[in-house]
Amino acid sequence: MGGRQTMPAEPVDQSRARFAAMFEGMKPLLPPPTDAVSTTDVTVPSSGQGVRIYNPTRTTGKLPVGLYIHSGGWYAGSIENEDFLCRNVAENAEIVLYSVEYRLAPEHPFPAGLDDVCAAYEFMHETAAGNGADPTQKFIMGGSAGGNYTAAVGLKYATNADLKAKGLCIFVPATCDPSALPDEYKAKYTPERYEDAPVLGNDLVRQAREWYGAPAADPLYSVLLHPDIKHLPPCYIAACTKDPTHQDTLFFSEECKKQGVAADYVEWVGMPHFFWSLPMLKKSQEFMSTWSKKLKDMNTAA
């Protein structure tokens, strides 16, 4: 990345351009796509948003199906930026993936993006069988804003027998507005520890929350507060310790475990926010391998 960088708070267009440039700069480092995964771009009829469907080509039989939700602080990002991550997971976890575009804040504040993601999830359920997947073996996954959306979608459908996911992969999410933290977590909340975090700083986190525009205590934004946490399926929850979302992620995993959810929490010690997008790091390769293994483990669990 040319040195130690922290994305600052700045006007939204500039921040989007900086975010896109980070992913663009990594393209020369990525392996070229192979024929191990085929892709199809479609549109969700109810939302008009695009979805890219990734199908592994070297497997047989009905596969599990998953919704992948890209990062970007609710205001940036695209399916193009994280195409290489989806290809990796589809191939190595042997899963059909639907990667969804969604409307971005601040032009489209909460709940617009969440509504788009939910529409894509329902679309995935309806069309999975036609794409060689088993709609009863549904997973949801994503990091950063995508991690928040993953938890929110999982919670929205947690008590719906048809639409409940079989497992969630929740990576480095925001899970509660600081002003709405329950007392037990507020007493442990120390955001000042992350003021000098690389890649993502506290200032941009605060700015992204403002742009998203969600009510602080809305449980589909501050998912730590949701009354249906106890109904969640098994979760793989990943946190990074050099990351302003570290405590958000930790608190959500603690709440899941407290409420009886099978929450597998892993800390990536010393690593910054969304580090696995940097393909030159050995830790990124380890993260991706772990991600696929956790998905396979959840899929084969009784």
| Structure confidence by residue, pLDDT tens digits, 236-256 | 999 999 999 999 999 999 999
- Residue 220 pLDDT class (50, 70, 90 cuts): very high
pLDDT, one tens digit per residue, over 53-104 is 999 999 988 999 999 999 999 999 999 999 999 999 999 999 999 999 999 9
Q: What is the DSSP letter of 27?
A: G
In terms of Cβ atoms closer than 10 Å to its own Cβ (0-12, 13-18, 19+), residue 17 is: middle
Measured over the CA atoms of residue 196, residue 201, residue 207 and residue 209, the dihedral's sign is negative
Q: Tell me the CATH class for 6-300.
A: alpha beta
Q: Is the pLDDT of residue 302 over 60?
A: no
Quote the CA–CA distance of 244 and 193 in Å, as a whole number: 8
Which of these, 155, 141, 96, lies nearest to 238 by C-alpha position?
141
User: Mean pLDDT throughout 114-131?
Assistant: 98
Which of these, 52, 260, 51, 53, lies nearest to 158 by C-alpha position?
260
Domain ranges across the chain: 6-300
Which of these, 70, 21, 16, 3, lies nearest to 204 by C-alpha position?
16
Quote the CA–CA distance of 256 and 271 in Å, as a whole number: 23
- Residue 107 pLDDT class (50, 70, 90 cuts): very high
